[in-house]
Amino acid sequence: MTAAKYQQQLLEQARRAYQETPLSDATVKAYLATPRHLFVTRYREHGNREWYEVRDENLHEHLATLYADRPLTLFGDDDSSVPSTISQPSFVLRMLDLLQLESGHRVFELGAGSGWNAALIAQLVGESGSVHSLEIIPEIGRRAVSNGEPLLRIVGRRGRLPGSCQRR
């Protein structure tokens, strides 16, 4: 199955979960424009100590996991204290919907993680808006920057991370 089909399957699952309060068209559009798999280069699943590296040549092996409706650990080896995850997709979409973000809004996010949530927000606030995301774990911040979302600024504890972009 292709990444697009997994993405669509996850969207349908989220829509069923929130059928009484449907996701907005804007959130759905942002989700479809921001494929989750592009923001995960390394992960592990809760309860599993094995780390998986995601590369172009093995992406097909990871798509089912990357598009499952559950969080994935991005940093931290102890399940009792996980400092960074990419959150459960249906929960992320619901949170974004509740924020009612619009074009031109300025957003600050604490905890960049993979950069996926900030990239979704950037889609929602558009070219006239801005997104600043703070990540205190340098390795995670560098990965978020390298995930290629040019519409946001990711900063570390001591300021801008190399390679981060800022949209004004």
Residues taking part in catalysis: 87
3-state helix, strand, coil in the chain (%, to 5): 40, 15, 40
Q: Using alpha carbons, list the distances in angstroms from residue 49 to 52, 61, 63, 75, 77.
A: 10, 18, 19, 11, 7
Task: Pick the closest to residue 91 from 5, 31, 154, 25 (CA basis).
Answer: 31
